[in-house]
C-alpha cells in the first residue's frame, strides 16, 4: 500500500481544497444563547479547534427552524438572526486556514416535547426509547406538501446565510434519525405520496434539499451530507438502500458524504471504542467504494493512527472523521499528523453513570467542550466534575421551561 499522509490535501468536486484528511465531525455544543444565537464561548471553542490542525471542522447541528430544535442551547438560523454573531464564529473557526462547514439540521420527530408538542415529520410515528417513556417527545404530525416545501426552502436559506456569514461549506444532517433520515427510513416514513414508499420516493426529500442548497450557494461552494450506513433496526433503512442512495448522490453531484449510522433508538454511532471495536463503519466504506466514486468521509470509532493511515492508503475513504477525541485534546489532529500520538483518546465516562447507551460519554464530551470554550484545560479533574454538573443542571432545567419560539 502506498502511504497517504494524513496531511495530504484533498480537492473536492466543487474546486475547494481541504488542507488535510482529518475532520472534526459535528458535535452539538449546547453553547448557543437562550435566543439560539452563537456566543463568544462558541467562537472561543472553534478558535481552539482551528489551531488544532484539522483540515475540516464541522459545526454541531445548527437548526434551520427555531420551532424544531434538538436542544434549547442549539444555534438556529432565524429570520431575525444577527449575522455578526455568526461572522465572529466563522472568523474564529477558520483562523488557521482550515475549512469550517455549518451542519444544517431539522430534528423532525426527535424534537423534545418542551420545544414542540407536535413536531413536523414524514409520518406520525413517535420515537420509541427510554425517553419516550419519560414523554420526552411530542406526537409528530405528518407534514403536508406546503410544509415540506417550506422546510426545503429553509435549508436553502440557512445555507445561503452560512455562506454570507463566512462559513466555507455546509453539511446537511441526513443521519441519526433526524428529519432527512426519517424520510429515508421505511420505519418512520409511512407516506404513500411522492415523498414515501419506494426508495426513490423516500430519497426525494434529501435530494430536493441538496438541489435547492446548490441553487442558493452556487457551484463552487462545498455541500456535504451525513448519511447513515444503516438504521441498525429491524425493518429500517438498510446498508443496501444506503448504497443505492450513494449512487443517487453521485448522479446529482455532492462534494463530500460522511458515513455514520444509527438514531436515538439505536445509538450505534456513540458506541464505546475499545480493543475489540474500532472504526465502526469501515467495512461499509470498503463496500461502498466498489460501488460509487464520490469523496467519502467516515466517522465513528477511529482512534489508532495506523488504522486511519491504512484506510486512506487502501482507498477505503478520503477523510477520517472523529468527534469525541477532539473534546479531550483540541490538537488531536495535529498530534496525529505529526506522529506525536499513535492513538486518539476519548474523554472518560462519567463515574457511576455507566454507559447509558453512549449518553455518559456524550455528556462528558459536552462538559469538555464547555471547558474548552472557557479557555480551560479539558483534563482538569475538578473542572471536569463541575462542567458535567453544570451541563446536567442546564439540560434538566430546560426540560421544565416551556419554550415557544
Ligand atoms: C456530544 C456529542 C454531540 C453530537 N452531536 C452531533 C451533531 O450535532 N451532529 C452529528 O451529525 N453528529 C453528532 N454527534 C455524533 C458525532 O458526529 C460522531 O458521529 C460520533 O460521536 C462518532 O464519532 P467518534 O467515535 O469519533 O466520537 C455527536 C456526538 C457527541 C459525542
What is the per-residue DSSP string for 14-82? TS-EESSSEEEPP-----S-TTS---HHHHHHHHHHHTTT-SEEEPSPEES-TTS-SSTT-EE--TT--
pLDDT tens-digit series, residues 28-51: 999 999 999 999 999 999 999 999
Cβ-contact 115, 34 below 8 angstroms: no
| Strand 17-18 relative to strand 10-11, pairing | antiparallel
Residue nearest to atom 6 of ligand 1 (CA): 27
**Type and span of the H or E element at 171:** strand 169-174
Q: Which grid coordinates belong to 81? A: 438572526
Is the pLDDT confidence value at 231 over 90?
A: no
Residue 373 lies in a domain: no
Contact 151, 120 (CB under 8 A): yes
In a domain, 342, yes or no: yes
Is residue 226 domain-resident? yes
Q: Cell numbers at residue 287, please?
A: 463496500
Cell of residue 1, nine digits: 500500500
CA of 179 to the centre of ligand 1 (A): 16
Q: Compute the distance from residue 259 Cα to the ligand 1 centre, in Å.
A: 12
Q: What is d(CA 267, CA 341) in angstroms, rounded to the nearest whole number?
A: 28
Per DSSP, helices labelled H in 9-82 are 40-50
pLDDT of 270 strictly over 60: yes
With CA atoms as reference, report the closest residue to 259 among 213, 302, 314: 302
Residue 381 domain-assigned (yes or no): no
pLDDT in the model for residue 403: 46
- The answer as to whether 199 is a domain residue is yes
Query: Is 370 inside any structural domain?
Result: no
Nearest CA among 219, 237, 218 for reference residue 228: 237
* Phi and psi, residue 393, nearest 5°: -60, -45
**Among 188, 156, 186, residue whose Cα is nearest residue 172:** 156
How many domains does the chain fold into? 1
The answer to whether residue 300 is domain-embedded is yes
Please give the distance, rounded to the nearest whole angstrom, from the Cα atom of residue 178 to the centre of ligand 1.
13
Tell how far CA 251 is from the center of its chain.
23
Distances (CA, A) of 137 to 123, 129, 207: 14, 10, 27
For the question of whether the overall pTM of this predicted structure is more than 0.85, the answer is yes
Q: How many residues are listed for the chain in this entry?
A: 405
pLDDT at 356 over 60: no
pLDDT at 348: 79
Instruction: Provide mean pLDDT across the span 243-266.
Output: 93
Asked whether residue 404 carries a pLDDT value surpassing 50, the answer given is no
List the single range of 7-21, 69-83, 272-286, 347-361 with lowest mean pLDDT.
Answer: 347-361
Residue nearest to atom 21 of ligand 1 (CA): 323
The 10 Å Cβ neighbour count of residue 51 is 14
- In this prediction, residue 266 carries a pLDDT of 75
Counting from 1 in the atom list of ligand 1, the atom nearest the Cα of 358 is: 31
Contact 66, 72 (CB under 8 A): no
Pocket of ligand 1 (CB under 6 A): 25-28, 60-61, 103, 173, 175-176, 226, 260, 269-270, 273, 299-302, 322-324, 362, 365-366
User: Residue 96 maps to which CATH number?
Assistant: 3.20.20.70
Please give the residue that has the higher pLDDT: either 99 or 403: 99
Give 140-171 pLDDT, tens digit per residue.
999 999 999 999 999 999 999 999 999 999 99
DSSP, collapsed to helix, strand or coil, labels residue 282 as: helix
CA distance 113 to 136: 5
pLDDT exceeding 70 applies to what percent of the chain? 88
Give the domain extent around 140. Answer: 10-347
pLDDT at 131: 56
Query: How does the average pLDDT of the chain come out, rounded?
Result: 90
Read off the pLDDT of residues 187-216 as tens digits, 9 standing for 90 and up: 999 999 999 999 999 999 999 999 999 999
Determine the average pLDDT of the residues in 375-381: 72
Q: Phi, psi (5° rounding) for residue 320?
A: -90, 120
SS3 15: coil
Residue 394 lies inside a defined structural domain of this protein: no
Residue 322 has pLDDT above 60, yes or no: yes
pLDDT the model gives residue 394: 62
Distance CA 292, CA 341 (A): 33
Cα of 26 from ligand 1 centre, angstroms: 6
Amino acid at each position: 500500500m502506498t502511504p497517504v499522509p494524513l496531511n495530504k490535501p484533498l480537492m473536492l468536486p466543487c474546486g475547494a481544497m481541504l488542507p488535510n484528511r482529518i475532520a472534526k465531525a459535528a458535535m452539538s455544543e449546547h453553547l448557543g444563547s437562550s435566543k439560539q444565537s452563537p456566543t463568544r464561548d462558541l467562537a472561543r471553542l472553534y478558535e481552539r479547534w482551528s489551531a488544532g490542525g484539522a483540515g475540516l471542522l464541522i459545526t454541531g447541528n445548527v437548526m434551520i427552524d427555531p420551532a424544531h430544535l434538538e436542544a434549547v442551547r442549539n444555534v438556529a438560523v432565524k429570520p431575525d438572526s444577527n449575522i455578526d454573531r455568526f461572522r465572529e464564529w466563522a472568523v474564529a473557526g477558520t483562523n488557521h486556514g482550515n475549512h469550517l462547514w455549518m451542519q444544517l439540521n431539522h430534528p423532525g420527530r426527535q424534537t423534545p416535547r418542551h420545544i414542540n408538542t407536535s413536531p413536523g415529520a414524514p409520518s406520525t410515528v413517535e420515537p420509541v426509547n427510554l425517553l419516550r417513556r419519560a414523554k420526552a417527545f411530542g406526537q409528530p404530525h405528518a407534514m403536508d406538501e406546503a410544509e415540506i416545501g417550506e422546510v426545503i426552502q429553509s435549508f436553502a436559506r440557512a445555507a445561503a446565510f452560512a455562506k454570507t456569514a463566512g462559513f466555507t461549506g455546509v453539511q446537511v444532517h441526513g443521519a441519526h434519525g433526524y428529519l432527512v433520515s426519517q424520510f429515508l427510513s421505511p420505519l418512520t416514513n409511512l407516506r404513500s405520496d411522492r415523498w414515501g414508499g419506494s426508495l426513490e420516493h423516500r430519497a426525494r426529500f434529501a435530494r430536493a434539499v441538496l438541489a435547492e442548497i446548490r441553487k442558493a450557494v452556487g457551484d463552487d461552494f462545498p455541500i456535504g451530507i451525513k448519511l447513515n450506513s444503516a438504521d441498525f433496526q429491524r425493518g429500517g433503512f438498510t446498508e443496501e438502500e444506503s448504497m443505492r442512495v450513494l449512487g443517487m448522490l453521485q448522479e446529482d453531484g455532492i462534494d463530500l458524504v460522511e458515513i455514520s449510522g444509527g438514531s436515538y433508538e439505536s445509538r450505534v454511532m456513540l458506541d464505546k471504542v475499545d480493543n475489540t471495536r474500532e472504526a465502526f463503519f469501515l467495512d461499509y466504506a470498503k463496500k461502498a467504494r466498489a460501488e460509487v466514486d464520490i469523496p467519502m468521509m467516515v466517522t465513528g470509532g477511529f482512534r489508532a493512527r495506523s488504522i486511519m493511515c491504512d484506510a486512506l492508503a487502501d482507498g477505503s475513504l478520503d477523510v477520517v472523521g472523529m468527534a469525541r477525541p477532539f473534546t479531550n485534546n483540541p490538537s488531536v489532529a495535529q498530534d496525529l499528523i505529526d506522529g506525536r500520538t499513535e492513538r486518539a483518546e476519548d474523554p472518560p465516562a462519567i463515574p457511576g453513570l455507566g454507559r447509558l447507551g453512549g449518553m455518559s460519554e456524550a455528556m462528558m464530551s459536552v462538559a469538555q467542550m464547555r471547558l474548552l470554550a472557557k479557555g480551560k484545560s479539558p483534563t482538569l479533574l475538578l473542572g471536569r466534575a463541575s462542567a458535567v454538573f453544570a451541563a446536567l443542571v442546564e439540560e434538566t432545567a430546560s426540560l421544565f421551561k416551556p419554550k415557544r419560539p
